[in-house]
Amino acid sequence: MNKLKVLSVLICGGISTSSLAINPQVDPENPNGYVVSRVELNASRDAKTADPMYAIWAKALETSSNAVVEAIYPNLPTNPDNVKRAERIFPEAEWDFLTKMAAPEYTYTRFLRAIGKFPAFCGDYIDVAKDADAICKKSIVTAFAHFAQETGGHISKDNISDNPQQLEEWQQALVHVREMSWSEGDAGYTVGCNEQNWQTSRWPCVAGKGYFGRGAKQLSYHFNYGAFSEVMFDGDASVLLNNPGLVADSWLNMASAIWFFLTPQAPKPAMLHVIDRTWVPSQRETNAGIGYGFGTTINVINGGIECGAQNETKGQPVNRIRYWEGLSAYYNIDIQSDELNTCYQQTPFGSINLEGATDVLYTNWEGDWTYYADRPEGQSFECKLVAYQTAYSALVPGDYEKCVTNFHNSHAGWPQIRVVDQLDTPVVEPPVDGVAAWVDSKVYLRGDQVSYQTGIYEAKWYSQGNIPGAGDPWKVIKAPTVTP
């Protein structure tokens, strides 16, 4: 099996010189701001996300249009290829077998539509060593093991009065479409809605709406509803912030779970990439006991509460493991020798110390506070990758530019930035005695020499936009030729 080596992304501070060409120019429309080339910004972004895993993560989160999704029905020849694979591997009879207690809002059609929204789920692989059918089957069974814990009936097979069909507990998934004790119209789960932070700025709560758990994954809190809405509705967070009940009453009740299954939350990998082994544990993760197997998917979902030695006998992880073992045995899932069902031997992802790690990739952008001596006002005009959540994802198209402009435009003392497709090319005079001509938008440091109108000048300190020959900060090295 071919494995992609996860390379390092170093988070640095202090003073830096430019590693890439970022050449801000004074904004002709705003004397207090600068214009930056979109080409240069994109080159900066691409250099920081050059590791192949970034492309794999982004590919996994690609979506089909809702028009295509809502045309999906069982056994249609027009269904997308990944849906056809899911139907073949997990036909409606198997759905019925595992959902005999399920709420009526969960249907096989909605399950297929959720899969159809994300072509990477049950999708193909370029790597021929990967068995796409086996990965699809294992993904569905893994998802149902977690459904059985998150939304299951949890009724003993021997409790005939409440379980007259004597169903196994792993057959009791998707009983709850809404979190118990909550109903539509209840304005709950509003913790943080009135705080001034990046989450409420990007995904503001709507008065009177409740963001309690809904759907197969029990999506909760306004920031998760907003982020999921952006994926489902072409970047529009307001749809689900205004109508959170759609996550219970439409095919989004299954799509929310598939979305979570495919989304990495650094340093957590996507569950799909644990299963298909696209993800390779870093040394820090290996040292923390984290490798392949169902146990790692528990760590991804709820490691802070369910993983670690103190949780070995705790109800939630014990249930998940029982459900996984029952389902994987029934469906003859191939479990490799290096896979563990448990996570009590693992440190939760959120408790791993990543300080100084050189083999971990991060998925969020933050303003780069590094001082750049050769850029205007010492500012970076860039963003950097960080190991915590921010409003800007490295996997979302356009978020890098938003990070750069929003950070610089919103922080006191930082210059305002406007991104343009093409910078105006300044008129540059020929060099004098081999010394390049002065450019008004360029930053010059102490000792830098320029030519201007046949003279040569040397900067005594930082300079940008100061005309040589007009006094400080320039000293004359060679006087300009005086024309009689």
Q: Which residues are catalytic?
A: 150
Cβ(364)–Cβ(393) under 8 Å? Answer: yes
Cβ(426)–Cβ(441) under 8 Å? Answer: yes
For tokens 């304005």, the residue is 187
Structure tokens at 479: 């006087």
Amino acid at 17: T
β-sheet bridge partners, residue 452: 455
Cβ(228)–Cβ(259) under 8 Å? Answer: yes
CA separation for the pair 407, 415 (Å, rounded) = 10
CA separation for the pair 341, 295 (Å, rounded) = 4
308: left (phi over 0), alpha (psi -120 to 50) or beta: left
CA separation for the pair 222, 187 (Å, rounded) = 11
Q: Is 95 helix (H, G, I), strand (E, B) or coil?
A: helix
β-sheet bridge partners, residue 365: 385, 392
Residues 6 or more apart from 383 whose CB is under 8 A from it?
A: 365, 366, 367, 368, 392, 400, 403, 404, 407
**Main-chain phi, psi angles of 372, to 5 degrees:** -110, 110
CA separation for the pair 362, 365 (Å, rounded) = 9
Which of 436, 466, 482 lies closest to 474, judged by CA?
Answer: 466
* Count of helices and strands (H, E) across the chain: 17, 11
